[in-house]
Amino acid sequence: MGNDLKAQTKLSVMDVEELCPVCGDKVSGYHYGVLTCESCKGFFKRTVQNKKAYVCVGKQQCQIDQSQRKRCPFCRFQKCLNAGMRLEGKLDGRRSLCHMFHLCSGGRQRFGRIQQMESRM
């Protein structure tokens, strides 16, 4: 019976899903200093790399959620910045979280591996 309880507890902890602070989609890991989804990670990266300058056609208060995140890139980028995403993708001039915890080698960074590292701190 004790082993069943441990297994259920482990499953319930693993089933908890974080939501992207920008659009509300499921997060995939730390990107530019913040837990975000793949879509917002890619959007932020393209915006920074291509030096995009967006203009809001509304009042700079557009709703950004999973279903409407592509409607206003200006407001989405502002929401990325407000969520804490950093243009340089680094923490205070140091290496990124991925490199700090040696998670970048051998494939994609995984949310679970970072969560495990945080729980050890």
- 12 within a domain of the structure (yes/no): no
What would the pLDDT profile of 8-44 be if each residue is shown by its tens digit?
444 333 345 789 999 999 999 999 999 999 999 999 9
Q: Which string of DSSP letters, residue by residue, matches 42-62? A: HHHHHHHHTT-----SSSS--
- 120 within a domain of the structure (yes/no): no
What would the pLDDT profile of 60-108 be if each residue is shown by its tens digit?
999 999 999 999 999 999 999 999 999 775 444 444 444 444 444 444 4
**So what's the pLDDT on residue 61?**
94
Domain that holds residue 35: 19-102
Instruction: Please give the tally of structural domains in the chain.
Output: 1
Provide the pLDDT confidence category of residue 112 given band limits of 50, 70 and 90.
low
What would the pLDDT profile of 40-59 be if each residue is shown by its tens digit?
999 999 999 999 999 999 99
pTM of the model: 0.62
Are 34 and 21 in contact by the 8 Å Cβ rule? The answer is yes
List the CATH number of the domain containing 38: 3.30.50.10
